[in-house]
Structure 1
Amino acid sequence: MASLTDETIHQLEQFLGDWLTDATVPGASIAVVRDGDIAYTGGFGSRELTENSPATPETLYGVASCTKSFTALSIQLLAERGKLRVDDPLSAHLDGIRIEGEDGPITLHDLLTHSSGLPSLGTSTVLLYRLTGVEEYGVPLGDREDFHRHLNGAADEIAGPRGERFMYCNSGYNLLGEVVEELSGTPFDEFVESEILQPLGMERSGMDPAALKEGDAMTPHALKDGGAEATPYPYRPVSLPAGGLIAPVTELTRYLRMQQNGGTFEGTELIAEESLAQAHAGHMERADSEYGYGWQRTDVVGRTLVGHGGSLGVSSSYMGFTEDGEWAIAIGANTTPSPTPPTVAKGVLAILAGEDPEEAVPFFARKSRFEKLTGEYESYRGITTATVEREAGALRLTSESALGEETLTLLPADPENPGDEFDIPTMAGAKKTATFEEHGDHVDLYYDRNRLHKQR
């Protein structure tokens, strides 16, 4: 087994413990691989709260959209066997689907890369909210036939030519799963089990929700009113290819090591290295990443991290590996907090690389910076008071005086690295600014005619 230094383990465990506390995560698990060997595993908190059963490295989690790379791999396995080509039109393999791109038939590649022009059609939202008791939309999605009707009714929603716009679409991956079934003659979940999970020795992983009823398995939790509330697991047969896998983080590392090792794990060759390179490549650009076939490429601490996250609203996950082959990380949690596991994984990688997440990872850098600036402020002798709060990637300033209340949005002048200067949008279009100044033991805020002093 590879090893981490005691100091690295201490920093890692402090970071993860703070995450669970700050984000109200009942339980989470992590596994870290270094140079092909397990270097660290850990369980934090409770996999369920009624009996306070601990989370362990072997706890089963619903890993949600981490399933997508398994779906993509299934398509590529069939391609290697001559059953299909990724540039085939969807219509060549599925009948009864009446959606088509503005510039011709939607291909399997388009669906794999979320570049078909088909936007999110809300199928996952409807089913997740329904099955966890959050909300009922009244949309008929009882079975695959309903799903096809829902999809065909959205033909006019195509948002542009194929390959032009990245639009994350769970429905596209569900269609890919149907292609796997059609061409293999095997139910999708059984194909994944026999062709991927079993060869990799992922013995406890699968898509049967019965696995969560006994043994070391998570209880899903929704975050409501500042607390975690147990919910049912949202099992959605029509959405298994988009997000149905259940797995422990330890077994996910077997899959990650196969990905890092060119398609081979412990002497078993699952797929050709060229196919994996195609899956890992950045086919579609996003704001801060590139998307391949069920994988996302992101630059973190000077390395390329190839991974994918997932959320069911009541559980969440991440799995990824550095392209240089040194690190692989898998995280599972029994709720969907903020920050989510994909962001936490970036902080973990920063620690493993010997860097401070608050300096190396934009989310944590912004969070740390905003924590210094948020709070209660007042002017000379308290004539004007104000509150500065975090609002998504910006700050919200609410001031009060005898003339009434005013609310302003403060946008970082440098969005990538928020500092002291913030822009204030106005209806008149005039540029206004707010400036924070730190003076050791206190912070001052200047905007318009005001100078305000942070009280707490």
Structure 2
Amino acid sequence: MRIPPWFLGSVLLLAGCATGSHSMPHAPHDTLQGQVDALMRDYDGHVPGASVLILRDGKPLLRRSYGMAELESGAASSPTTNYRLASVSKQFTAASILLLAEDGRLRLEDPVRRWLPTLPDAADKVTIRHLLTHTAGLIDYEDVMDPASTVQVHDADVLRLLESQDRAYFAPGSDYRYSNSGYALLSLIVERASGQHYAQFLHDRIFQPLGMDHTVAYESGISEVAHRAYGYTFDQGRWLRTDQSTTSAVLGDGGIYSSIDDLARWDAALYDQRLLRSRSLQEAFTPATHTDDPTVEYGYGWRITGETLWHSGETIGFRNVIVRYPQRHLTVVVLTNRNDPEPYGLAKQIAGLALGI
């Protein structure tokens, strides 16, 4: 594993909080760690937990975990715990498309039917850029799945479901509607343009080059998740394991597992050209469309609010968020293996504490 020198130094500096809040007494509340501990108290103990990362100038101000990665075995959460990222995965799908555009394998203005010709006529004017920005108007695959089926669908199944839907919510480019369908199709385009299985492309072109050695687009029976967190839902006074649903095997819209340690490496790559050229990064981070929230615009796999670039991820048993303040070189990541609450507001509070230092 290739680990940057700053990362090792910071790990030593923060050794006392590397394994979780239950491993040491809480710090005084006038310190950043104490303040974050207070905000995260509901995640501490024998409950589904969380991992929190604050990066400033590429170095961790705080790298801390709480609670349990798996209640049944008593496995504690740690900074190496890998959570299902859900829609935080979309930034990796978008980056894959941009890498292939840089390779000259595709263009963002390509009609989607050039790559996926079995899509119906209603998709005729949809481009790759429309898929990236949720402006394609495609039907949500979750709404046309068989509600009685207990079999997990995969990205290729999303295409098959959409093949029967010769209709759209609106003309491409005329409106915004958040679309998991679009990002599932993007993963298939990555496969066809690259000649590689999508999970392998992610490994070879993003995860391995960045040293994200334990990040994986998880496929049951094919890959494994190291230090895996399992998802839970609080129901009738107790935590129930709710780790997978019928849509959890779709990779392009949400199937990546990662940790705060690996996401630190991802964040670092978004400041320079070690992965993508500066022009590609600028495109990804530039508002391409308004959304249904007047405070939020959307780029390529990133929401944009004021000075922040961010994305949340919600799926059965997991709630996650990454919030970046690129002009201030500050990033906050909160990963949790429980169904509630959404951690975006929490991450903003944590960022406020860090910005006040």
Range class of TM-score, shorter chain: 0.7 to 0.9
- Post-superposition offset of 1:145: 5.7
SS at match of 2:217: coil
Q: 2:52 touches 2:335 (CA, 8 Å); kept in 1? A: yes
Matched, 1:296 2:299: no
Map of 2:172 onto structure 1 = 162
Alpha-carbon spacing, 1:233–1:138, altered in 2? closer, same or farther (3 Å): closer
Q: 1:236 touches 1:244 (CA, 8 Å); kept in 2? A: no
Map of 2:39 onto structure 1 = 15
Q: 2:312 touches 2:321 (CA, 8 Å); kept in 1? A: yes
Of residues 150, 163, 166 in structure 1, which corresponds to 2:161? 150
Map of 1:179 onto structure 2 = 189
Alpha-carbon spacing, 1:273–1:159, altered in 2? closer, same or farther (3 Å): same
Alpha-carbon spacing, 1:279–1:215, altered in 2? closer, same or farther (3 Å): closer
Map of 2:84 onto structure 1 = 62
Q: Aligned letter for 1:35?
A: D
SS at match of 1:316: strand
- Post-superposition offset of 1:30: 1.1
Count of matched residue pairs:
329
- Post-superposition offset of 1:143: 5.3
Of residues 272, 285, 288 in structure 2, which corresponds to 1:280? 285
CA offset digits 1:61-82 (Å, max 9, x no partner):
1111111111111101010111
Show the 5 A alignment for 1:35-184.
35-100=57-122, 105-122=125-142, 136-138=147-149, 142=153, 146-156=157-167, 158-184=168-194
The alignment yields a C-alpha RMSD, in angstroms, of: 2.8
Q: 1:27 touches 1:43 (CA, 8 Å); kept in 2? A: yes
Map of 2:6 onto structure 1 = none
Alpha-carbon spacing, 1:99–1:205, altered in 2? closer, same or farther (3 Å): farther
Q: Aligned letter for 2:289?
A: M
Map of 1:343 onto structure 2 = 345
Q: 2:67 touches 2:76 (CA, 8 Å); kept in 1? A: yes
CA offset digits 1:292-312 (Å, max 9, x no partner):
10001123xxxx110111122
Map of 1:403 onto structure 2 = none
- Post-superposition offset of 1:154: 2.4
Matches of 1:119 and 1:215, distance apart in 2: 35
Matches of 1:152 and 1:99, distance apart in 2: 9
- Post-superposition offset of 1:25: 5.9
- Post-superposition offset of 1:226: 3.7
Alpha-carbon spacing, 1:197–1:26, altered in 2? closer, same or farther (3 Å): same
Show the 5 A alignment for 1:41-440.
41-100=63-122, 105-122=125-142, 136-138=147-149, 142=153, 146-156=157-167, 158-208=168-218, 216-234=227-245, 239-259=250-270, 261-263=271-273, 269-286=274-291, 287=293, 288-299=295-306, 304-338=307-341, 340-354=342-356
Matches of 2:314 and 2:188, distance apart in 1: 22
Matches of 1:186 and 1:143, distance apart in 2: 16
Q: 2:145 touches 2:161 (CA, 8 Å); kept in 1? A: no
RCO (CA 8 Å, sep 6+): is it higher in 1 or 2? 2
SS at match of 1:42: strand
Map of 2:25 onto structure 1 = none
CA offset digits 1:243-281 (Å, max 9, x no partner):
11011111011101211x133xxxxx2110110110011
SS at match of 1:198: helix
Matches of 1:235 and 1:31, distance apart in 2: 30
Q: Aligned letter for 2:284?
A: A
TM-score by length of 1: 0.66
SS at match of 1:306: strand
Matches of 1:212 and 1:41, distance apart in 2: 27
SS at match of 1:173: helix
SS at match of 1:100: helix
Matches of 2:98 and 2:59, distance apart in 1: 26
Q: 1:119 touches 1:168 (CA, 8 Å); kept in 2? A: no
SS at match of 1:319: strand
Q: 2:288 touches 2:298 (CA, 8 Å); kept in 1? A: yes
Map of 2:21 onto structure 1 = none
Hey, which of these two has a bigger chunk of strand by percent?
Answer: 1
Alpha-carbon spacing, 1:151–1:119, altered in 2? closer, same or farther (3 Å): closer
Worse-matched range after superposition: 325-334 or 67-76: 325-334
Q: 2:139 touches 2:162 (CA, 8 Å); kept in 1? A: no
- Post-superposition offset of 1:341: 2.2
Matches of 1:42 and 1:321, distance apart in 2: 18
Matches of 1:71 and 1:28, distance apart in 2: 24
Worse-matched range after superposition: 181-190 or 31-40: 31-40
Give the unaligned 5+ runs of structure 1: 128-135, 264-268, 356-456
CA offset digits 1:175-212 (Å, max 9, x no partner):
11111000110000000010000010000111235699
Larger Rg: 1
- Post-superposition offset of 1:146: 4.2
Q: 2:216 touches 2:225 (CA, 8 Å); kept in 1? A: no
CA offset digits 1:383-408 (Å, max 9, x no partner):
xxxxxxxxxxxxxxxxxxxxxxxxxx
Give the unaligned 5+ runs of structure 2: 1-8, 15-28
Runs of 4+ in 1 over 4 A off after TM superposition: 1-6, 139-146, 209-215, 234-238
